[in-house]
Amino acid sequence: MSYRIEGAMGSWEVVIGLEVHAQVISQSKLFSGASAYFGADPNTQVSLVDAAFPGMLPVLNKECVDQAIRTGLGLNATINLTSRFDRKNYFYADLPQGYQISQFDHPIVGKGKIEIELEDGSIKEIGVTRLHLEQDAGKSIHDLAPKETYIDLNRSGVALMEIVSEPDMRSPEEAGAYLRKLRAILRYLGTCDGNMEEGSMRADVNVSVRKEGEAYRTRCELKNINSIRFVMQAIEVEANRQIEIYEKGGQVDQETRLFDSVKGETRSMRSKENAHDYRYFPDPDLLPLILEQSHVDHLKETLSELPDDKRKRFQAEYGLSRYDANVLIAEQDIADYYEKVAKGRDGRLASNWVSGELFAILNKKGLSIHESPVQAEAMNALLALIMDKTINGKIAKEVFEIMVETGEMPDKIVERKGLKQVTDTGAIDQVILGILSAHADKVEQYKSGKDKLFGFFVGQVMKAMQGKANPAIVNELLNKHLSS
Ligand code: ADP
Ligand code: MG
């Protein structure tokens, strides 16, 4: 079922390509030794290179290069053993060099792909065009003084990876799924923290519309959107704007636009920009970047497990459905938590408890998995009690609630509250006989065909035993008595 926007003059398809800027996790900047740490006081992490003092020379940071290679490997992409740094010239107050060092026609990473999964369960491959390394600019601060702009150069020179996709996405949902998947890959690899609110991952969104089967039409680029939800909203707003223009007989101009999430509209920032406007040329201060294949191979061997591989392993190792595995691998910390819970236990039971009871509590209390009131080891111990039939599923939920409140281990709670499951057939039998004689009328009705009453008897027995009876034994014994 594909996404279409119905206009007055028929149905329109939306075409989307994303350019994502991902800040590299590294100690120091791309071409200087200054710290790349986020959140320090303004202008305290600025070397002479970052401030572009005359005569300063850039020195390439090997760790940033390795991070880009790891990311390329995680995107199933070609690693270019030869790449080059170019100067992209433009003037802006927060760019002291007067140019950004970037990679133009020889990026470090070439074509790759990302597999996304949609709500309806379908799977789609989105092409990655390239990944290149570049410097970030400083930051202009406009809201500290009424008539002045302050400049913070802490960010100046921090390494960014620009990851460009093919125009392969066809709906806001696909763009959202792409960004979530890309962010998961970056986080798994430890190459970018993917934190869109802090700006360490930002998306430029290219949107055009067309009639089915047509060639691509002119696109507009929506700059610097900092949440997945806004990306999805912006696409819809922008596609509708373009459709309206076409349906009135107009033409869409290629331009850079800004998405205003408050007003729900996009506004023009500047018209079409071309590569020649930037007067790109190879940076004469830097040699071409030449990599050894053996180095790339080494990084590949030591790469962390990727989300898709973890999902497949969870399906195979723990017997989970693709859907359930996906829920658990979406965040690495949750996957790690789950594996501790599932250790030595039934994988599906563990999945139900983590995605069910635990997520419900975390949602309700607005906590992350790190802040969980129940440790993975305690959850693992709870599952042990269920599996060895010390407690049944219903009591387990009660125990879990107490664990949430007190942080106690489940065995202690079971012991203290005397919640051990009763598996003694004699004891259960006695209670059953009592219930059946107290409800002789219902027994009659049951025997003359009112099958539904079976549940009533189970309920009565459980109630009489404070929920502690083994449900399988209750069922078995009830069956025996009622069919005789
Ligand atoms: P530029 O070099 O001018 O930025 P690119 O060809 O590299 O242009 O494209 C930039 C982004 O725009 C890519 O993510 C690409 O997928 C996307 N894109 C290109 N053409 C279209 C189109 N017609 N509609 C939507 N997105 C497009
Ligand atoms: Mg571009």
Nearest CA to ligand 1 atom 22: 219
Specify which residues 99 forms β-bridges with. 89
Ligand nearest to the CA of 252: 1
CA of 78 to the centre of ligand 2 (A): 20
Ligand nearest to the CA of 167: 1
CA of 206 to the centre of ligand 1 (A): 6
Phi, psi at 267, each rounded to 5°: -130, 150
3-state SS assignment for residue 156 = coil
Specify which residues 125 forms β-bridges with. 115
3-state SS assignment for residue 151 = strand
Most informative mutation of 131, 169, 204, 206 for ligand 1 (most atoms within 8 A of CB)? 206
CA of 437 to the centre of ligand 2 (A): 80
CA of 259 to the centre of ligand 1 (A): 18
Token pair belonging to 123: 């799977």
Token pair belonging to 471: 């449900």
Top-confidence residue, 483 or 13: 13
pLDDT for position 270:
75
Q: In angstroms, rounded to a whole number, what is the distance separating the alpha carbons of residues 106 and 86?
A: 9
CA of 447 to the centre of ligand 2 (A): 76
CA of 467 to the centre of ligand 2 (A): 63
Give the H or E element holding residue 236: helix 228-247
Task: Work out the burial of residue 375: count CB atoms within 10 Å of its CB; fewer than 13 is exposed, 13-18 middle, 19 or more buried.
Answer: middle
pLDDT tens by residue, 240-249 = 999 999 999 9
Q: In angstroms, rounded to a whole number, what is the distance separating the alpha carbons of residues 51 and 321?
A: 53
Average the pLDDT over 82-105 and give the result: 96
CA of 69 to the centre of ligand 2 (A): 21
pLDDT at 124 over 90: yes
Q: Where are the beta strands (DSSP E) in 24-108?
A: 82-83, 86-89, 99-102
Phi, psi at 382, each rounded to 5°: -65, -45
CB-ligand 1 contact for 170 (6 Å cutoff): no
CB-ligand 1 contact for 132 (6 Å cutoff): no
Average the pLDDT over 368-387 and give the result: 96
Would you say the C-alpha torsion 187, 192, 197, 202 has a positive or negative sign?
negative
pLDDT at 193 over 60: yes
Looking at the chain, the whole-number percentage of residues with pLDDT higher than 70 is 99
Average the pLDDT over 420-443 and give the result: 89
CA of 19 to the centre of ligand 2 (A): 7
* No. of helices (H) and no. of strands (E), the chain: 16, 16
CB-ligand 1 contact for 210 (6 Å cutoff): no
Q: In angstroms, rounded to a whole number, what is the distance separating the alpha carbons of residues 248 and 246?
A: 5
Q: In angstroms, rounded to a whole number, what is the distance separating the alpha carbons of residues 386 and 400?
A: 12
Contact yes or no for 106/131 (Cβ under 8 A):
no
The pTM of the full predicted model, rounded to 2 decimals, is: 0.88
Nearest CA to ligand 1 atom 2: 275
CB-ligand 1 contact for 19 (6 Å cutoff): yes
pLDDT for position 275:
66
Most informative mutation of 219, 242, 253, 255 for ligand 1 (most atoms within 8 A of CB)? 219
pLDDT tens by residue, 167-176 = 999 999 999 9
Q: Where are the beta strands (DSSP E) in 144-287?
A: 150-152, 159-165, 201-210, 220-225, 255-260, 265-271, 281-282
Please, which pLDDT band fits residue 68 given cuts at 50, 70 and 90? very high
CA of 291 to the centre of ligand 1 (A): 28
Token pair belonging to 324: 């359930």
Would you say the C-alpha torsion 187, 189, 193, 194 has a positive or negative sign?
negative
Token pair belonging to 359: 């997520």
pLDDT tens by residue, 280-298 = 999 999 999 999 999 999 9
pLDDT at 1 over 70: no
CB-ligand 1 contact for 277 (6 Å cutoff): no
Token pair belonging to 257: 């636009």
Q: In angstroms, rounded to a whole number, what is the distance separating the alpha carbons of residues 66 and 82?
A: 14
CA of 170 to the centre of ligand 1 (A): 14
pLDDT for position 37:
93
Average the pLDDT over 158-174 and give the result: 98
pLDDT for position 483:
83
Of ligand 1's listed atoms, the one at least distance from the Cα of 218 is 23
Q: In angstroms, rounded to a whole number, what is the distance separating the alpha carbons of residues 466 and 393?
A: 13
pLDDT at 276 over 80: no
Q: Which fold has domain 425-482?
A: Arc Repressor Mutant, subunit A (1.10.10)
Ligand nearest to the CA of 275: 1
CB-ligand 1 contact for 408 (6 Å cutoff): no
Q: How far apart are the first and last CA of the chain?
A: 55
- Per the prediction, the chain carries an average pLDDT of 95
Contact yes or no for 56/93 (Cβ under 8 A):
no
Please, which pLDDT band fits residue 469 given cuts at 50, 70 and 90? confident
pLDDT tens by residue, 37-57 = 988 999 999 999 999 999 999
Ligand nearest to the CA of 254: 1
Sequence spans of domains, the chain: 5-298, 305-417, 425-482
pLDDT tens by residue, 304-345 = 999 999 999 999 999 999 999 999 999 999 999 999 999 999
Those residues with Cβ within 8 angstroms of residue 354's Cβ, 6 or more apart along the chain or in another chain = 328, 334, 337, 338, 341, 379
Ligand nearest to the CA of 126: 1
3-state SS assignment for residue 263 = coil
CB-ligand 1 contact for 15 (6 Å cutoff): yes
| Number of Cβ within a 10 Å radius of residue 448 | 7
